[in-house]
Structure 1
């Protein structure tokens, strides 16, 4: 399977038409059609459903799309790393998968200071919940992951990042529960909940709730917080979330109330034990270690 053909395949998927893809790739339509047929023959699977105007993907085609994107991303990353090795000024990319939260501010400060000395090192961020960013890390598509515990960290090297996030409930200020200082387990049993996919994946609330999560009235599940905050604003329900993610000041229609007993999440920076770092990634890690040491010396 040739890399060139995978790029052809993804272009056809993006354009939705072999004719348009051929124009974008500057190849003839018969040549592109032949390449795709040979790809299907090589894999022994039909990849496309060919309609009168547009083509769509079969289940096998959807799988190949995912794998092709991962393969080409890894190839581009490797090419960038090797092209930087002989450069007089250190260049390269640092790829970081991260969840949403205040620890990203610490990462940003480290990168800001680092780029004064290494202006050609470019950070690339991929945002997602813990399963998403760990999947990217495990496949070698990112160098680091910023995640929030509790997690099984045995297969990774890691650094504890500053701060602790508290789980709680995001709600409208005109909601009845906004009058409470804290949210207790029984408060969640009779309200429409917009539930965190990470909490669902790791069953993080089961012990705290004292009842199976299935007994909750879950009206939606989210993996990134911004859309969840919009759902709350529009009155769909209450969102389980970390504190300090949404504006809750006087001008905001929202407020956040912490869980009681407290339910907390600790942030970590992870990398694979078998990962071979580029120069850019090693420099980033050195700066993170130095900044963490400075914090511990000050406290």
Structure 2
């Protein structure tokens, strides 16, 4: 039984005439009569007593009218509720994180929500772990995207199903550009440009030190950076080689730069984090539900 047919039935019951109901519904009389006949056959009951000038409801028709009005009213309310949500949910969502290709996952969620809730605005903040977590604690951010390893114990978080690959960005005319991958021995005494986040997170937690081996102390870090764009400018000008993540610096065919992954491969996972007892706006709550649906069980 379709809602549409119940609406047809109610129109006939209200108008007391097939002709008047057909005009109201913008249907032909034969079409409406056929729909009513099919409804009676579906229910196995006679719903109308027809005469040459009017149409009256049977006892079964009166019962159906009452139930149909309740059903249609409920459907109308449900549609109105969803329309109201669409039209009224608005606000701002603040997301912070380091530079990472995993932002594409967040961008896809934003795009999907945008089609349903166009009045929500998104604000992105770029920074390292200290910057992001400080702003989370102050309530300036709703969500943070942290590159692992990170201090996650005091947050709720979900792991993004993706990993960032570490490597070296260099000029295409540099000697190391001829290599398919970069090994530890290749970086001894080479001028390196490292992210401050990498120095704090990776070096201090010994992931990079373990990767580099016994010659870790021979690293020649000549500069540090906060944004990979600035590091790329330094590399392009010949300052050194930037240790960075893949796909955040332009290394396309029209660029003077290229990326070579570390060998053996060094990867970092990523997590979306938020405070354990947040006071979320309706917009932020919708975003949270969406990332939970996308990324799985709360960690």
User: Would you say same fold, with TM above 0.5?
Assistant: yes
RMSD: 1.9
Q: CA deviation at 1:206?
A: 1.5
Aligned residues: 208
Q: 2:27 — aligned with what?
A: none
Unaligned runs of 5+ in 1: 1-86, 294-299
TM-score (norm 2): 0.66
TM-score (norm 1): 0.66
Query: Take 1:95 and 1:213, find their aligned partners in 2: how far apart are those partners?
Result: 38
Select the residue among 269, 281, 284 that pairs with 1:281.
284
Q: In the TM superposition, what are the counterparts of 1:1-299 in structure 2 within 5 Å? A: 89-202=88-201, 203=203, 204-211=207-214, 214-292=217-295
Query: Take 1:157 and 1:292, find their aligned partners in 2: how far apart are those partners?
Result: 13
Query: Take 2:254 and 2:94, find their aligned partners in 1: how far apart are those partners?
Result: 36
Instruction: Assess if the C-alpha contact under 8 Å between 1:129 and 1:224 holds in 2.
Output: no
Q: CA deviation at 1:258?
A: 0.7
Query: Take 1:168 and 1:232, find their aligned partners in 2: how far apart are those partners?
Result: 14
Q: 1:67 — aligned with what?
A: none
Instruction: Assess if the C-alpha contact under 8 Å between 2:145 and 2:273 holds in 1.
Output: yes
Instruction: Assess if the C-alpha contact under 8 Å between 2:250 and 2:257 holds in 1.
Output: yes
Q: CA deviation at 1:242?
A: 0.6
Query: Take 1:138 and 1:176, find their aligned partners in 2: how far apart are those partners?
Result: 45
Query: Take 2:284 and 2:217, find their aligned partners in 1: how far apart are those partners?
Result: 42
* Structure index of larger Rg: 2
Range with greater deviation from structure 2 (229-238 or 113-122): 113-122
Q: CA deviation at 1:226?
A: 0.5
Q: CA deviation at 1:283?
A: 0.4
